[in-house]
Amino acid sequence: MLTIHTADEGGAVAVEGARVVGVGTLVDLEQRFPGARLRRWPGVLGPALVHEGPLPDAPSSRERIHAVLKAGATAVLAEHVASPELRAAAQRNDVEILAAPRPTALTALGRADLAVFDKTGECIATVCAGRLVHRRR
């Protein structure tokens, strides 16, 4: 389903499946993609983060990966997911495993990894490979 994500601050991103199909203003994307579902978020919309340190402690591998997603990250460094259980949990959730940090950006036809943060820096929502995987209630 084609979805346009927008926030109080920042532009808008059109997502279809796991890919970004448009980046721009909300007005521009609504004109380009009439009938798209619209998700409005309070805060600042931008690319998802790369979690560069050790994963947060949690009782299970799944919960450790979920903690990363809740922080607005959709990628982790390979050195911090060395165990087969952590790697499997990351792969099941479409979290990218990177050999080294890389810059983040929202680009047309790129992977749909985005996050919304409030004014305190807390993550409000995380979209990983086009799927909403975290939403603060």
- What CATH number corresponds to the domain at position 6? 2.30.40.10
Q: Please check the confidence at residue 7 and state whether its pLDDT lies above 80.
A: yes
Q: What is the pTM of this model?
A: 0.94
84 shares a domain with 17: no
The total number of structural domains that make up the chain: 2
94 shares its domain with 53: yes
The CA–CA distances, whole Å, from 36 to 31, 90, 108, 125, 137 equal 10, 29, 16, 19, 23
Q: Are residues 87 and 110 in the same domain?
A: no
Residue 84's contacts (CB-CB under 8 Å, 6 or more residues apart) are none
**Taken in order 79, 116, 14, 90, is the CA torsion positive or negative?**
positive
Kindly state whether residues 40 and 53 are assigned to the same domain.
Answer: no
pLDDT in tens, 56-87: 999 999 999 999 999 999 999 999 999 999 99
Q: Are residues 6 and 35 in the same domain?
A: yes
Measured CA distances, 38 to 34, 80, 95, 97, 129 (Å): 10, 35, 24, 30, 17
| Enclosing domain of residue 56 | 49-98
